[in-house]
Structure 1
């Protein structure tokens, strides 16, 4: 049998990021919503559509496909079996010619729809992908600079841009969900920048907006990120009960059961909260479980860019460093600091500054002011003067150094060094 590929359907699938199996699964779910029973399509069914072997799907599959795509079947390149009376006798036309005429008319209609003054343009996965590239830039900027008001403002503006796309044209439910997820991701980055800059009231406002967007998206990974950030925010605010409650929301999402790396991050942040609450046994148990979960995680699994950019063994040790410092177990804290610094990736500039400062605190608390001061002096001036969390930690280090070794030459060395920071700023 002479068949012609359904190039219109193929183009739509490429634009919206669907594989044959992925589209079959989406249509099966839509069939279940229509009929109460799951559909029986698989990747070979969709490949038959694309190859032109099936030119007009059965009614339930066709209606489900239209629900998934937001387009009538004929606009997806399918040819109805029955034709109106004015249609020429099929035997009088070459099959390939008929298909080319239909595809050409659909393409012309699509071009007309894109013209100014015509119907709204179609929003697709290419728009989502463009936003995701911008999100990767925001994540990279955060790891270099952290806590900056400019990062927060850019992330918030991009969240608004993602939402504006919802009203800029027509889109499938899948694309709309991805746009909400992008908006939630940007808003969660604005939230994190505000947390890192100790602007907690603003961070809470970003959190509420991010949570609403994440619910509309249905994206488990971004829900985890937002609630996990909330737990960290409350920990920094000295509210451990709220921190545990928020982090528990993240840890109870099913993504933590599906992916041990998410489970590991949730447990490590829980350990940091337990440390702040002076719960030694719970802290130790949480980090043991976090380490075990990390070892079980498959590096080949697909994960969002924000997770891949920061969570690894170095970050686990960084959280353990924070927890043991809060407990006053400074020798263990120093151990985790050295492990973290040896494993930090080059782009983690902000994390290196924070870890170096915490290491200096741990060394000073163990009675080594000279070594502690030498460590603290390794913090770059940019981080020391422009990152609110690092600035505060170094101010606390200076106060502790003066209390530990008043009038000593090392205090004078530190005072002169901090003066160069003020000059650089």
Structure 2
């Protein structure tokens, strides 16, 4: 029987400039990182997949290919064997948006299953630590290029990798809890990338999956992150009542009583939500409460990498800027924007672009057209053209500028600047 060439897999290899041998080496290396044992694939295996002679690789290879490509095996052109159940294929799909119930069942089955290979390897904290290193890389990418689809896809694939690891050997309950917590962390990063990219429907799907995994892990810190992100999601979707309710869940977790740094973040995000509700009177006290909680926190206390990477005085000013800008207090918004920019850490490139765009909006609202235009023009081209939230804010700035001063030199300058961005993205 004649076999059909796997055109999707072949196209992906050509896109990534993999030869059969170089892809085999990459697979073997990643298998070693995942399992502690070097893989045994060679160019012949890859050519068999590409030619269609082998239509459904082994499970370990499929997991690594999904991790490497950010695509499911089916999306790579592989065809499940007839005995492979649809649920099993669904579990491998790193881009599948599972519902809360399906996510819970999938994770529960993964934990309870006792595969034949479980007796051959012991899963330990070293495996978890390797995943933590990948999580740190996802966090770094987010702060540099937030909102991008490839960040969301990679975080989703790594969440599946963490879940698949549950079935690759035996482990203590402590290790399994950490694996669920790590999977929840990756899913929460996928959720945040989707929020930042204004892909709200996908963000909701990630949120549901992340909530299930966090409950199974028992990790208070990741529960806080997910519910706090949920508050931000509903705020961006124009649902302040839901946003406050979700943020309240985060604030009521006992980790906020154990560590004032978490309490501070919860208070600051509540401030941003109240700003979106135009509750201007409550903002000064909310800001002051968040600042005082931050000052009480022990700077040496152990905290998760996602919190250490961003939560500081600069981000407190950033949330205050968002709150006052939404509430229409342009002068106070500008004050917090300048304070934020003065103390932002160098790696916070996405935050710098967002803050600068908001500063330009606050200056324009005060009628300072020339200063606002100069401010907006300092946003880096990459963020202005590729970050969905920044692009949207700058489009709104341009529309506001043209409405305020349609024939001014600043408007002409801005129009030419924005046109150059579009012509050379």
Category of TM-score, reference length = shorter chain? 0.7 to 0.9
Query: 1:34 — aligned with what?
Result: none
Structure 1 residue 420 corresponds to structure 2 residue 411:
no
CA separation of 1:248/1:117 partners in 2, compared to 1, >3 Å: closer, same or farther? closer
Q: TM-score, normalization: structure 2?
A: 0.72
Structure 2 partner of 1:164: 164
Distance 1:117 1:287 in 2: 54
What's the counterpart of residue 121 of structure 1? 121
How many residue pairs align between the two structures? Answer: 310
Whether 2:202 is the aligned partner of 1:202: answer: yes
**Higher mean Cα deviation, 283-292 or 337-346?**
283-292
How far the C-alpha of 1:314 sits from its partner, in A, is 0.2
Q: Does 1:381 align with 2:355?
A: no
Cα drift, residue 283 of structure 1 = 2.1
Counterpart mapping for 1:53-72 below 5 A: none
Which residue is equivalent to 2:17? Answer: none
Give the Cα separation in 2 of the matches to 1:424 and 1:135: 32
Distance across 2 between alignment mates of 1:247 and 1:138: 24
Counterpart of 1:271? 271
8 A contact 1:181–1:222 mirrored in 2: yes
**Retained in 2: the 8 A contact 1:132–1:182?**
yes
**SS state at 1:303 partner:** coil
User: Shift of the alpha carbon at 1:117?
Assistant: 7.0
Q: Secondary structure at the match of 2:394?
A: helix
**Distance change >3 Å, CA 149–CA 216, structure 1 → 2:** same
Instruction: Tell me how large the CA RMSD over aligned residues is.
Output: 1.0
Whether contact under 8 Å (1:381, 1:424) holds in the other structure is: no
Q: Following TM superposition, by how much is the alpha carbon of 1:189 offset from its aligned partner in structure 2, in angstroms?
A: 0.1
Q: Distance in 2 between matches of 1:302 and 1:163?
A: 25
Q: What residue number does 1:259 align with?
A: 259
Q: Residue deviations 1:4-40, cap 9 Å, x none?
A: xxxxxxxxxxxxxxxxxxxxxxxxxxxxxxxxxxxxx
Alpha-carbon deviation of 1:118? 8.5
Alpha-carbon distance change, 287 to 117 in structure 1, aligned in 2, over 3 angstroms: closer
Q: Find the counterpart in structure 2 of residue 356 from structure 1.
A: 356
Deviation at 1:281, TM superposition (A): 2.4
| Residues 326-380 of structure 1: per-residue CA shift (max 9 Å, x gap) | 1110100000000000000000000000000000000001110000000000001
Is the Cα contact below 8 Å between 2:235 and 2:276 reproduced in 1?
A: yes
Cα deviation, residue 155, structure 1? 0.1
1:166–1:281 CA distance, 2 compared to 1 (3 A) = same
Aligned ranges for residues 11-410 of structure 1 at < 5 Å?
119-410=119-410
Whole-angstrom CA distance in 1 between matches of 2:341 and 2:255: 29
Distance in 2 separating the partners of 1:119 and 1:166: 13
**For residues 124 and 118 of structure 1, do their structure 2 counterparts lie closer, same or farther at Cα, with a shift above 3 Å needed?**
closer
Shift of 1:282: 2.2
Q: Work out the CA distance in 1 between the residues paired with 2:204 and 2:417.
A: 36
SS at the partner of 2:119? coil
Structure 1: gaps (5+ residues): 1-115
Once residues 382 and 275 of structure 2 are traced to their aligned partners in structure 1, the CA distance between those partners, rounded to angstroms, is 29
Paired residues of 1:231 and 1:244 also in contact (CA < 8 A): yes
Deviations 1:177-235 (A, max 9, x none): 00000000000000000000000000000000000000000000000000000000100
Q: TM-score if structure 1 supplies the norm length?
A: 0.72
How many angstroms apart in 1 are the aligned matches of 2:179 and 2:250? 21
Displacement after TM superposition at 1:286 (Å): 1.4
Q: 1:185 to 1:408 in 2, by over 3 A?
A: same
SS in 2 for 1:278: coil
The ranges of structure 1 where at least 4 consecutive aligned residues each deviate by more than 3 angstroms after the TM superposition are: none
Query: 1-side partners of 2:371 and 2:209: how far apart?
Result: 45
Deviates most, 280-289 or 315-324: 280-289
CA distance in 2, matches of 1:248, 1:280: 19
Q: Deviations over 1:251-273 (max 9, x none)?
A: 00000000000000000000000
Q: Distance in 2 between matches of 1:343 and 1:367?
A: 26
Gaps of 5+ in 2: 1-115
SS at match of 2:248: helix
